[in-house]
Structure 1
């Protein structure tokens, strides 16, 4: 069971990675977060976990013009992999 979940999570990450053009890892986004008054990364992780019903296994901050969104991959408590978006300005 664990192996299947790990494979699904890895496959999901591989599939999601190219779709994140204009995005940066959370660890590199501190300056962008503070400069633009965005919600902190920890708050985004908490919101994504709540929305996805599980644990965040990857999160990036994406920018499209003046619009910012956190894109998270969440491993749900049931073992499903979900993609969750969190508005970086409002937390919704």
Structure 2
């Protein structure tokens, strides 16, 4: 990995962008972010597993840098009243 946590985070984000591009185009070969080679996946499921792993690693590094973990809302509740 890179020297600092910020560089590691940037590298992981570049990998995620390349993986997303490959998933969108249907290509099973993804070039590494630093130009050091490529990764060939067997099928789309392997790509989804790799994406989940990258997202969790990015979230962990981001939480480490910011000091607080990010939370995702599972449910949004809206309450309103009518005007008549």
Structure richer in helix, relative to its length: 2
Specify the structure having the higher radius of gyration (Cα).
2
Structure with a larger share of its residues in strand: 1
State TM-score, norm by structure 2: 0.30
How does the TM-score come out when normalised to structure 1? 0.28
